[in-house]
């Protein structure tokens, strides 16, 4: 028996998307692209996040999966707004915003009996405080 030729070492695929090369199902490829996108939120640097986002959008645009291409176009259109998340990540606490949203929701729920939106708007100004008051509000002081 002749000796066997040495085997080439098996190269590991770089990403889930590359592993999907053996699958031709669009749904599988779309799922793997979605999973790859989740890596975006692990970046701390705005520059690296921008590079990843651009690369991911290019990959999706070549995928020939129309719904994913629509998502990529949307992400490209809102690229700067998405990257603002990375610029302001440690500067602002979302707790403050969530607190204001909760106050607004409670005020809106309490104002279901009001007849016009204008009265609801006044109630929002009153409850959220430190916002500019409209001209027609009653002043107690």
Which token pair is 89?
A: 């990540």
Residue 136 clears pLDDT 90, i.e. is over it? no
Residue 141 banded pLDDT, cuts 50, 70, 90: very low
What's the half-sphere exposure (Cβ side, CA atoms, 13 Å) at 62?
A: 6
Residue 40 neighbours by CB under 8 Å, 6+ apart: 49, 52, 53, 56
What is the reported pTM? 0.54
For 41-67, how does the pLDDT look when each residue is reduced to its tens digit (9 = 90+)? 899 899 999 999 999 999 999 998 999
What span, in angstroms and rounded, lies between the C-alpha atoms of 12 and 15? 9
Sign, Cα dihedral of 25, 26, 30, 36: positive
CA distance 139 to 32: 59
Higher pLDDT, 123 or 39: 39
Percent of the chain residues topping a pLDDT of 70? 72
pLDDT band at 129 (very low <50, low <70, confident <90, very high): confident
Strand, helix or coil for residue 82: helix
Name the residue among 18, 33, 19 with its Cα closest to residue 64: 33
The per-residue pLDDT of the chain, averaged, comes to: 80
pLDDT band of residue 16 (cuts 50, 70, 90) is low
């Amino acid at each position: 028996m002749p000796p066997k030729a040495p085997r080439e070492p098996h190269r590991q695929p770089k990403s889930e998307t590359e592993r999907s090369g053996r699958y031709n199902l669009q749904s599988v490829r779309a799922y793997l692209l979605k999973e790859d996108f989740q890596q975006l939120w692990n970046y701390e640097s705005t520059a690296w996040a921008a590079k990843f986002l651009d690369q991911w959008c290019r990959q999706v645009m070549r995928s020939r999966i129309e719904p994913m291409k629509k998502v990529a176009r949307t992400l490209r259109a809102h690229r700067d707004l998405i990257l603002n998340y990375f610029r302001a990540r440690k500067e602002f606490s979302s707790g403050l915003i969530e607190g204001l949203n909760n106050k607004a929701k409670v005020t809106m729920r309490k104002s279901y009996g009001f007849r016009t939106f204008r009265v609801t708007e006044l109630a929002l100004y009153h409850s959220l405080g430190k916002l500019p008051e409209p001209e027609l509000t009653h002043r107690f002081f």
